Amino acid sequence: MIRLATAQPDFAARFAALVADTREPDRGVAGQVAAILERVKKEGFRAVADLTSRFDRVDIGSNSVEVRDSERAAAVARVPADQRAALELAATRIRSFHEAQRPADGSHTDPAGVRAGWRWTAVERAGLYVPGGRASYPSSVLMNAIPAQVAGVDELVMVTPTPDGRVNPLVMLAAELSGVARIFRIGGAQAIAALAYGTHPLPKCDMIVGPGNAWVAEAKRQLYGTVGIDMVAGPSEILVIADASARPDWIAADLLSQAEHDPVAQSILITDSATLADAVEAWVERILPTLSTEPTARESWDAYGAIIVVDGMEQAVDLANQLAAEHLELMVADPAPLFANIRHAGSIFLGSYTPEPIGDYIGGPNHVLPTGRRARFSGGLGVHNFMKRTTWLEAGAAGFAALAEATATLADAEGLGAHALAVRIRQEK
């Protein structure tokens, strides 16, 4: 863990290094991923089956790769009542939030009488990747599938690795609650390739979403264009801005809530109180040994954690905008002024009673968020990701007459004779 203060003479250089270190997935896997994609493209399902046998210890054939309805139902039946109730509440809240996002069609008529507008339509089929290695997250099923369902996607297809053949009951329930039609027991870059190319019995998808390891992220990056993707996600990150009113034990718990995700996750505290900074550092050390995830959280905190002491909250806002964190908590007495000036963040959590895990599971807003400083130019997953905006234009005879000469003039200026002809041929009597 590094400790910085804006008063240090070398602060600017050290903070710049912190911003530059985005802990991106290992691009050294690019060649391996390219080989996997090419093999699946050429060999089809045979390559998928071979790679699944090698990596997940599951032998699949075209008739056994899909999780049967009876297997799904049996898994769902094993979910404890309290977990089912919690997941159902989460699904209801996530759906309600995303239904309010659905974009509206629109149009207008200009003074020339030309009508123009736009309409939104959903992609036909979306593929959802659900990890099954280091962790399996039913909450991610809801966060990825429900926006697609609200958007009006015709069919949702899920792939998830099942090491040694075991399916996760909560993942099966989440799929049921969010309208997933088909589930296939494959993972890794080969699963992304199968969805992108269409590898019978896996259907070809128009869009692929969902988190994964470095191989999955790289496969999505390489296949973008062949298929739409949500984003190329990196390791999780949290930034907490806190003043002296915040409780240090709460801050420490929130920082570790992201550190436990991954050894390369990042947790950062910015505060104007050196006393609070000391207390938080001490609380992290007290809490770590109590966690079942201590090895992961410890590695993350030691390697990538940071505490930054600033002279005032204006500095905190400036640093936060440079970090463009995936998750930003404002644990200050009055978060409104800071909130108004935060320009770059994936999702913002206001006040000490809004810990980031509320957003991860049940708050409503999507937890699929840009990492690696990408919040500077992109936002989290939403209904719009599964839809396309198609514009339309209707000139009519009067509108054409008003626009024709200027159109032809510009076409001639660009040396595009057929463009000009397509207009002038309509002007002839």
Note the pLDDT tens digit of each residue in 207-225. Answer: 999 988 889 999 999 999 9
Per-residue confidence (pLDDT) for residue 166, from 0 to 100: 82
Taking CA atoms, 305 is separated from 6, 300, 337, 341, 419, in Å, by 17, 7, 26, 24, 59
Per-residue confidence (pLDDT) for residue 405, from 0 to 100: 96
Q: DSSP string covering 238-306, please?
A: EEEEE-TTS-HHHHHHHHHHHHTT-TT-EEEEEES-HHHHHHHHHHHHHHGGG-TTHHHHHHHHHHH-E
Domain end point (choices 212, 229, 246): 229
Mean pLDDT of all residues in 58-80: 92
* pLDDT reading at 134 higher than 60: no
| Strands annotated E in 38-171 | 106-109, 115-122, 125-129, 155-159
What is the DSSP-derived secondary structure letter of residue 23?
Answer: -
Calculate what percentage of the chain has a pLDDT beyond 70.
Answer: 98
Answer yes or no: is 246 within a domain: yes
Per-residue confidence (pLDDT) for residue 62, from 0 to 100: 79
Answer yes or no: is 187 within a domain: yes
Is 38 found in the same domain as 75?
yes
* Residues classed as catalytic: 326-327
The CATH number assigned to the domain holding 177 equals: 3.40.50.1980
Is 289 found in the same domain as 211?
no
Domain count, the chain: 3
A 10 A CB-CB count for 16 gives 11
Full residue range of the structural domain in which residue 270 is found: 2-24+234-363
Is 198 found in the same domain as 268?
no
Q: How confident is the model at residue 428 (pLDDT cuts 50, 70, 90)?
A: confident
Note the pLDDT tens digit of each residue in 309-330. Answer: 999 999 999 999 999 999 999 9
Handedness of CA 284, 288, 293, 295 (dihedral sign): positive
Answer yes or no: is 378 within a domain: no
Calculate what percentage of the chain has a pLDDT beyond 90.
Answer: 90
Q: How confident is the model at residue 256 (pLDDT cuts 50, 70, 90)?
A: very high
Note the pLDDT tens digit of each residue in 368-407. Answer: 999 999 999 999 999 999 999 999 999 999 999 999 999 9
Is 130 found in the same domain as 35?
yes
